[in-house]
Amino acid sequence: MRVFLIAAALAALLSGAAYAQSQNVPQYGEEDKAKSPAQIEADKAAERAYRHSLTNIPDKGPTDPWGAVRSNDAPKTSAEKTKTKTGSATAKTGNPN
């Protein structure tokens, strides 16, 4: 008898959890329920607060992830040795060499 009661209680607990998961979920193409004016105003206030919070984020400058690894004496790349459209290693200076 005790086993039967435990099994019945377990079945009741599991069926309650399954019932809670089967609440009405809107299907694709189904129209949303109309919002009350208070809900519409709350949505607008939340959107304004979100937009305002985005303006409070400071802009980060350029980061150098290898800055701690690279020494300070390392030569910087110059604009003269950057690649051009043709793919050559040096920029055109007008010299044929």
Tens of pLDDT, residue by residue over 57-71, are 888 878 878 877 877
Tokens of 54: 């985005």
pLDDT at 23 over 80: no
Give the per-residue pLDDT at 97. 58
pLDDT at 7 over 80: yes
Q: Quick one: average pLDDT of 52-81?
A: 75
**Of 86, 67, 69, 90, residue with least CA distance to 78:** 90
Calpha distance 75→89 (Å, rounded): 17
Q: Which 3 state secondary structure label does DSSP give 10? A: helix
Cα separation, 91 vs 97, in Å, equals 12
Cα angle vertex 67, ends 63, 70, to 5°?
A: 150
Q: Which two tokens stand for residue 59?
A: 């802009």
Residue range 3-27: average pLDDT? 81
Task: Give the pLDDT confidence of 27-46 residue by residue, as tens digits.
Answer: 788 788 889 999 999 999 99
